[in-house]
Amino acid sequence: MAGRPRSGPGRGWLLRLVIAFAFAQGAVSMARPAVSYRALALGADETAVGVIAGVYALLPLFVAVPLGRRTDHGRCAPLLPLGVLLISGGCALSGLVSSLPAMAAWSGVMGLGHLCFVIGAQSIVARQSAPHEQDRNFGHFTIGASLGQLIGPIAAGALISGQGGALGRTSALALLVSAGVCAVALTSLWRIEHRRTTGTRPRADGKVPVRTILGARGVPAGILISMAVLSATDILTAYLPVVGEHRSIAPATVGLLLSLRAAATIACRLVMTPLLRLLGRRALLTTSCLLAGLLCAGVALPVSVPVLAVMLAVLGFCLGVGQPLSMTTVVRAAPDGARSTALALRLTGNRLGQVAAPAAAGLIAGAVGVAAPFVLLGVGLMGAAGLGLRGEGGKEQASADEAVSGRSNRRSAPGGCPRDRRAARSPRSGG
């Protein structure tokens, strides 16, 4: 019984975290296309939509690393309700204001809340998961995000289309509803973090420099792959409504297309473990990023809605690989005592991509055409495929190999001594 490192009874904490994340992410996924439609109703052009979408990620750029430092040496759970409150406030006030600068500002508050929630949640998963459980637990954790991305756009599309196409009024309603959806996440945030894991954090005087973290082999690749994958997801969410307007696709249909992409991502994460066994981490990352790049560029083609639906479904499946595997890559490659900071650096890279990609997409869309940003994203994902092909850090790969070897040994020797199994895992199970 003492042989397997558990931080609490079962994995109920992970289920509650997934539920809370589903509501929080659902609110954000509902709000972001609603912000785009409301901006269009207020007279924004494609460039302005890109700027507003970029501001969502601007504030988090300045606070991600300090939040990661604090989490490395303290509790993670307080960040979760703070994030929920900031998301709810940002959603509600984005629906109440009537100027584009104010919408951009409250969109930034929404992004800050999402960052707080995600840093706290990812740090809890990293801290309370044994090394051999990290791929599985991060995969299950990101199912919460995919559930939110599945339901949010459908709800937004239904609300925005439900009152005669009066985009200003209906998009404001969708933003207010998203604020209430996010608040529901508070009901699942109990007993998420266990005290046995909070009392073993390194002291603050032993913090690892950012340059050392970024120099660890595997960390930069994990950050860049995550940035490319999230930028693709983000541009799809923010710019598919604009593509729909240009191709006369109804907002409800756009919402269904975005949700189809999210459903395929959920399917991918449900079968992540068998995919890893079948292909291996490097081949899975490389193949998924390469295929996603080709499909993302294909969105620029003037295809019919059924063909676009098939493309987005396969694209969503491919995009489901990058996020959980990049989390595990960064956590395993990071120096001891700096895992939350490394995850924060990964999120900083994500937010940098969310600032730069929509702004660049807006400029490209304004100058070349609304479908052109998807070609840019395709190129970025193909570059991420190259990073996956180069392989991962030695420490991270060795940890994965040890976990697989440990599971094989336990299966082949059922009478093994728990003390021996503890001794085999203890060097890598802390933190």
271-296 pLDDT tens trace: 888 888 888 878 888 888 888 888 88
pLDDT at 266 over 90: no
Whole-number pLDDT of residue 176: 94
Average pLDDT for residues 186-191, to the nearest whole number? Answer: 85
At 358 the pLDDT is 66
pLDDT-based confidence at residue 91 (cuts at 50, 70, 90): very high
Contact between residue 346 and residue 320 where contact means Cβ atoms under 8 Å apart: no
Please report which confidence band the pLDDT of residue 401 belongs to, taking 50, 70 and 90 as the band edges. very low
User: Span 86-110, mean pLDDT?
Assistant: 90
Q: Give yes or no for residue 92 having a pLDDT over 80.
A: yes
**Region of poorest pLDDT, from 31-35, 84-88, 240-244, 252-256:** 240-244
Rounded to an integer, the average pLDDT of 42-62 is 79
Tell me which of 1.20.1250.20, 3.30.300.30, 3.90.1150.10, 1.10.3720.10 is the CATH number of domain 13-191+209-402. 1.20.1250.20
Pick 55 or 184 by higher pLDDT. Answer: 184
Domain ranges of the chain: 13-191+209-402
pLDDT at 133 (0 to 100): 75
The structure's pTM equals 0.69
**pLDDT band at 389; cut points 50, 70, 90:** low
345 close to 68: Cβ distance less than 8 angstroms = yes
> Can you tell me the mean pLDDT for 367-396?
68
Question: Looking at per-residue confidence, does 70 or 261 come out higher?
Answer: 261
Mean pLDDT estimate for the chain: 76
Q: What is the percent of the chain with per-residue pLDDT over 90, rounded to a whole number?
A: 12
Banded model confidence at residue 185, pLDDT cuts 50, 70, 90: very high
